[in-house]
Amino acid sequence: MSSLALYPEDEKLPRNERLVFDLYIITAVALFVLMMLLGLSMRLTQATWAGIGPKLFYEILTMHGAGMVGTMGLVTLAVMWFFLRKYVHLHLWAFLTNYVLFMLGALAIIISIFIGGYAGMWTFLYPLPVHSMGIGSVNAAALFFIGYLLIGVGFLLFYLDAAAAIIRKFGNLGRAMGLQWLFGGTIDQSHPKAVVASTMVIIANSLGILAGAVVLVMCLINAYFPAVVLNALVVKNLIYWFGHMFINATIYMGVIAVYELLPRYSGRPYAVSRVFLWAWAVSCVFVIIVFPHHLLMDYAQPRWLAIIGQVVSWGAGFPVFLVTAYGVLTNIYRSGLRWKMPSRLMVLAVFGWAAGIVPAILDGTIVVNTLMHNTQWVPGHFHFYLLLGVLPMALAMMYHVIGSRAQSSDDAAGDKLSLPLYIIGGLVFALAFLAAGKASVARRFATHLPEWVPYDQAGSIGAILIILGMLFFSVRIIAGLLKTPTDVGSAHPGG
């Protein structure tokens, strides 16, 4: 198990590693603010409080979707790297290469959207990107595909480096996940939970990224050689396999921060149990095969795939979440938890994850899906677990890091206002989406009916509060990272 020292020596970053890590975090928080502002512009337009034309609206919607998911992947990969590097030898070149390829990919996507006019959403569903009715060019769609490919290659290179490091240390990926203890034996309590989670992500998300690479190359070929006709259903399955896996990986990379940091603030060890190992093993399988629940409304989908999507949807969200939630609650119960920003954010993250799962599982049920899937219920559930679940996991790590560099875990005066602003804004924003979904407000519409506008106005107010909180977080984090690190000794959280 990881040390209970608040700022252990093995987390100090050498100069080059610190520079690359800081690049990741500063880039991520800046992108989050920008993507949130784009989201606000859409909500204000739907609320009739601002006006952007439909063409620009759908370009912004495409950028917001691809950009927010990509940024969430970037920052949670930094979380995984920061903690995994303590247990295995990771090469800095792989971490840096991923950053460079991500930025090149992001630049390609930005150019394809705002210069080339691509507005086919993050899903790039065939054949829409190359049949845009003159709004966007084939070259713009191809550049969007290339941007995705660059980002995917970067992630895959990092995962391959991490997998090689894990295999060198533990022998194989199965042993790294603790599969040898599933049916018996004495569990090694020093086996790192960060390694278990990282290994699961490497296995699952590498498959997803490879599926994405295959379909992106297929779409690139079709763009310039239209005679090569693609099977639309196969393409859609590959796209959603890739997309579902990528966004789920952000949760599983982000939760590593909870496993590593919470015991330091509670002063109580977070044990590795057989149930914990089983949960991660089962989730590794479930997250790979659950993606057909995105295609329950596709009548041409083979029935057996729809059944898999339906059944696995009921179980996929629970194993890791339940063991994590139970572990967090038992870890902090009567522990005298130090309620600092990192610990507050971790508790918020578990709540946001839990609350976001419920509408997601409901939507993964066929009788609900047929009514709700093309409504704002869907952005409601994923904004819930991303804004109030995954992002707080990453923010907890960031606040902890700046605390370690300043040799102080004390909160700033503004933290007492910024966190409540963010939480209230997040709840209002997500619940406005869910309420609109219950009222059958359609997704992805630039212009809304008068009956829908009150939901948009409530969502706009929530978005403004979120951005105000996030702006303060960003200033605090960037200022903290740019300070020269203080020599920090090991300190017990109760000291």
pLDDT tens-digit profile of 99-123? 999 999 999 999 999 999 898 888 8
**Alpha helix ranges (H) inside 301-365:** 303-316, 319-332, 341-363
pLDDT at 489: 42
Query: In 3D, which of 393, 400, 392, 394 has the Cα closest to residue 481?
Result: 400
Measured in degrees and rounded to the nearest 5, phi and psi for residue 132 equal -95, 15
Q: Is 382 exposed, middle or buried (0-12, 13-18, 19+ CB in 10 A)?
A: buried
Query: Which amino acid appears at position 9 of this protein?
Result: E
3-state secondary structure of 442: strand
Question: Is residue 234 within 8 Å of 285, Cβ to Cβ?
Answer: no
Q: Round to whole Å and give the CA distance between 47 and 245.
A: 32
CB 247 within 8 A of CB 382: yes
- Measured CA to CA in angstroms, residue 197 lies from 83, 192, 193, 385 at distances of 11, 9, 6, 18
**What residues in the chain have per-residue pLDDT under 70?**
1-3, 317, 407-411, 484-495
Q: What is the pLDDT of residue 132?
A: 77
Closest CA to 388 of 421, 435, 356: 356
Q: Do 49 and 462 form a contact (C-beta atoms < 8 A)?
A: no
Letter for the amino acid at 208?
Answer: G
d(CA 355, CA 340): 23
Domains, the chain, with CATH or none = 9-482 (1.20.210.10)
The conformational region for residue 186 under phi > 0 = left, psi -120 to 50 = alpha, else beta, is beta
Question: Using CA atoms, how far apart are residues 459 and 408, in angstroms rounded to an integer?
Answer: 36
Question: What is the model's pLDDT at position 244?
Answer: 86
Position 81, amino acid: W
Report the sign of the C-alpha dihedral through residues 178, 180, 185, 190, in that order. negative
Q: How many CA atoms, within 13 angstroms, populate the side-chain half-sphere of residue 252? A: 28
pLDDT at residue 291, rounded to an integer: 79
**pLDDT confidence of residue 3:** 63
* 128-147 core/surface letters (b: 16 or more CB in 10 A; e: else): ebbebeeebbbebbbbbbbb
- Residues with Cβ within 8 Å of residue 327, at least 6 apart in sequence: 270, 276
Q: Cα dist. 481→53, 169, 283 in Å?
A: 39, 31, 35
Residue 368 has a pLDDT of 80
pTM above 0.85, yes or no: yes
Residue corresponding to tokens 């572990």 = 327
pLDDT at position 317, please?
67
